[in-house]
C-alpha cells in the first residue's frame, strides 16, 4: 500500500472539469499509415528522409552506370574511354564480353573447351537432381553426384590419352572452372569426412572421440590461409622420395580437411537433435548399432541439417577466393589479371571487373541462401504438422 494515499494532505480530488481533448488524429488510411510507420517522431523521420535521399541518388546513378552509359561493344579499352567516345562512360561490358572465355576457362586450350562445358553440364544435372526435393530416385542422385561426377570430371578435365582425350596441365586451368572445381572437391570430400568425424565425436571409444575432437577443433581454430600455406609448403615435405603433388591438388587437400571440420560440426548439430529414443527403439528392434546409425539416426539427422550444409557450401564458395593467394588462377585472380591487360586500360575497366565479380558471387551465394531458407521453412512446417 502506498503511504501517500493514506496521507490526507497528499490526497488529490479534482474539483473542475477537464477541458475536452481534440479528436484523435486519423489512424486509418494510407496517409495515416505512412505517418505512423515512417514519421512517428523526429529521429525516425530523419532516418526515413536520409534513406529516401540515398535511394533517389543511388538508384538512378546505378542504372546510369550499369545500363544507360555502359559500353556494350568494342574491341579494346579505347571504346571505354570517355575522351574517345565523347560522353561519360559507365560499365565497360565490352571488356567482360571480350574476356568471358578467359574468365570461364582460364588458359584451357580453346579446342578442348567442350570438356569443361560438358563437366559444367554434368555437374548442373547432378546438383538439380539433389536440390529438387520431388525428383525421382534421389539416392541415385547422391551416388551420381558424389561418385560418378568426380571420376568423370577428373577424366574429362585432366584428360586420358587412352580414351583420346589430350592431357591438359592443371596450370592451364583457370577462372570459373577452378572456382567450381575447388568448391566442388571441397564439398564432395567434406561431406562424407564430416559425417564420419561427427559420428566419431559422439563415439563411446575414448581414443576415437579425442582424435575426432582434436582434428575438428584444430582446423576450426586456424585461418584458411594458414591451411593453404601449410598444404603448399608442408605437404610435399611429408611425402616419400621424389613424389610431388600437383599445384592444384595441394590447396584442394587443405580445403577438404578444413571444410570437413566445419561440416562435422553441422552434422553433429543434426545428430544431437535426434531424440535418443530413436536409437534405443532401433536397438530394441534388433538392429545392430551400425544398422541403427545408418538406417535410423543418420537419415533423419542429415535431413534436418540440409540448410546448415548449404550454408557451409556458401562459406566454402566464398572461401575458394583465397586459393588465389597461393597462386591458383581462380575467378577473382583471373579477373584481376584480365583487368591489368594493357589493351583494356581504361578507367571504367577495374570498376566493371569488380561489379561483375560482385554480381556473380552475389547471385550464386544469395541463391543458395534462399534455397537453404526455403528448406528450413519446409522443415519447420513439417515439424508443426
In the complex, which residues of this chain contact another protein (CB under 8 A)? 37-38, 40, 44, 47-48, 51-52, 204-208, 211, 217-218, 220-226, 229-230, 233-234, 236-241, 314, 318-319, 321-322, 324-325, 332, 336, 350, 354, 357-358, 361-362, 365-366, 369
Cβ neighbours of 192 (radius 10 Å): 12
Smallest distance from another protein to CB 62, Å: 12
What are the C-alpha distances in Å from 298 to residues 44, 212, 327, 379?
50, 18, 39, 16
Smallest distance from another protein to CB 211, Å: 7
Phi, psi of 360, deg, nearest 5: -60, -55
Smallest distance from another protein to CB 270, Å: 18
Residue the block writes with cell 537453404: 372
| 13 Cβ neighbours under 8 A, 6+ residues apart | none
C-alpha span between 247 and 137 (Å, rounded): 37
Smallest distance from another protein to CB 230, Å: 5
Smallest distance from another protein to CB 143, Å: 28
Report the residue number, 141 or 312, with the smaller CB distance to another protein. 312
Smallest distance from another protein to CB 253, Å: 13
* Contact call for residues 368 and 308 (beta carbons, < 8 A): no
Phi, psi of 92, deg, nearest 5: -100, 75
Smallest distance from another protein to CB 234, Å: 6
Report the residue number, 4 or 217, with the smaller CB distance to another protein. 217
Residue 63 grid cell: 542504372
Smallest distance from another protein to CB 79, Å: 22
Report the residue number, 103 or 168, with the smaller CB distance to another protein. 103
Report the residue number, 217 or 246, with the smaller CB distance to another protein. 217
C-alpha span between 151 and 156 (Å, rounded): 9
Residue the block writes with cell 562424407: 192
Torsional sign, CA 320, 324, 327, 331: positive
Report the residue number, 5 or 288, with the smaller CB distance to another protein. 288
* Contact call for residues 333 and 322 (beta carbons, < 8 A): no
What are the C-alpha distances in Å from 93 to residues 73, 83, 239, 353?
7, 18, 47, 9
Phi, psi of 270, deg, nearest 5: -65, -40
Residue by residue, DSSP assigns 320-355 as GGGGGGGT--BHHHHHHHHHT-GGG--THHHHHHHH
C-alpha span between 334 and 176 (Å, rounded): 9
* Contact call for residues 267 and 198 (beta carbons, < 8 A): yes
Report the residue number, 149 or 179, with the smaller CB distance to another protein. 179
How far, in whole angstroms, is CA 154 from its chain's centroid? Answer: 24
Tell me the HSE value of 247 on the side-chain side, using a 13 A CA sphere.
15
Report the residue number, 142 or 211, with the smaller CB distance to another protein. 211
Report the residue number, 40 or 97, with the smaller CB distance to another protein. 40
Smallest distance from another protein to CB 75, Å: 25
Smallest distance from another protein to CB 255, Å: 14
C-alpha span between 215 and 52 (Å, rounded): 51
Report the residue number, 52 or 380, with the smaller CB distance to another protein. 52
Report the residue number, 113 or 279, with the smaller CB distance to another protein. 279
Amino acid at each position: 500500500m502506498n503511504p501517500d494515499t493514506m496521507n490526507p494532505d497528499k490526497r488529490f480530488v479534482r474539483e473542475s472539469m477537464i477541458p475536452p481533448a481534440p479528436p484523435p488524429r486519423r489512424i486509418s488510411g494510407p496517409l495515416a499509415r505512412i505517418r505512423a510507420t515512417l514519421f512517428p517522431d523526429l529521429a525516425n523521420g530523419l532516418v526515413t528522409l536520409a534513406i529516401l535521399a540515398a535511394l533517389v541518388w543511388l538508384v538512378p546513378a546505378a542504372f546510369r552506370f550499369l545500363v544507360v552509359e555502359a559500353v556494350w561493344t568494342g574491341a579494346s579499352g579505347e571504346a571505354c574511354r570517355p575522351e574517345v567516345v565523347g560522353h561519360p562512360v559507365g560499365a565497360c561490358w565490352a571488356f567482360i564480353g571480350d574476356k568471358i572465355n578467359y574468365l570461364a576457362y582460364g588458359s584451357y586450350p580453346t579446342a578442348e573447351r567442350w570438356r569443361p562445358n560438358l563437366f559444367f553440364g554434368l555437374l548442373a544435372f547432378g546438383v538439380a537432381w539433389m536440390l529438387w526435393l520431388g525428383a525421382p530416385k534421389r539416392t541415385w542422385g547422391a551416388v551420381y553426384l558424389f561418385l560418378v561426377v568426380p571420376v568423370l570430371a577428373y577424366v574429362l578435365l585432366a584428360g586420358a590419352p587412352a580414351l583420346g582425350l589430350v592431357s591438359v596441365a592443371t596450370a592451364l586451368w583457370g577462372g570459373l572452372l577452378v572456382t567450381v572445381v575447388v568448391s566442388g572437391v571441397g564439398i564432395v570430400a567434406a561431406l562424407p569426412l564430416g559425417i564420419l568425424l561427427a559420428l566419431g565425436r559422439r563415439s563411446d571409444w575414448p581414443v576415437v572421440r579425442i582424435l575426432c575432437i582434436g582434428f575438428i577443433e584444430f582446423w576450426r581454430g586456424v585461418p584458411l590461409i594458414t591451411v593453404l600455406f601449410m598444404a603448399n609448403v608442408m605437404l610435399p615435405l611429408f611425402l616419400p622420395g621424389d613424389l610431388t603433388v600437383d599445384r592444384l591438388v595441394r590447396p584442394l587437400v587443405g580445403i577438404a580437411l578444413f571444410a570437413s571440420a566445419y561440416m562435422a560440426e553441422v552434422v553433429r548439430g543434426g545428430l544431437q537433435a535426434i531424440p535418443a529414443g530413436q536409437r534405443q527403439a532401433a536397438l530394441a528392434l534388433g538392429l545392430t548399432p551400425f544398422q541403427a546409425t545408418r538406417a535410423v539416426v543418420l537419415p533423419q539427422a542429415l535431413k534436418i541439417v540440409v540448410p546448415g550444409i548449404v550454408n557451409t557450401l556458401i562459406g566454402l564458395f566464398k572461401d575458394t577466393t583465397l586459393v588465389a593467394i597461393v597462386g591458383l588462377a581462380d575467378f577473382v585472380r583471373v579477373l584481376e589479371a584480365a583487368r591489368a591487360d594493357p589493351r583494356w586500360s581504361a578507367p571504367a575497366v577495374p570498376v566493371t571487373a569488380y561489379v561483375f565479380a560482385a554480381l556473380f558471387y552475389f547471385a550464386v551465394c544469395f541463391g543458395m541462401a534462399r534455397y537453404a531458407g526455403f528448406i528450413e521453412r519446409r522443415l519447420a512446417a513439417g515439424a508443426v504438422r
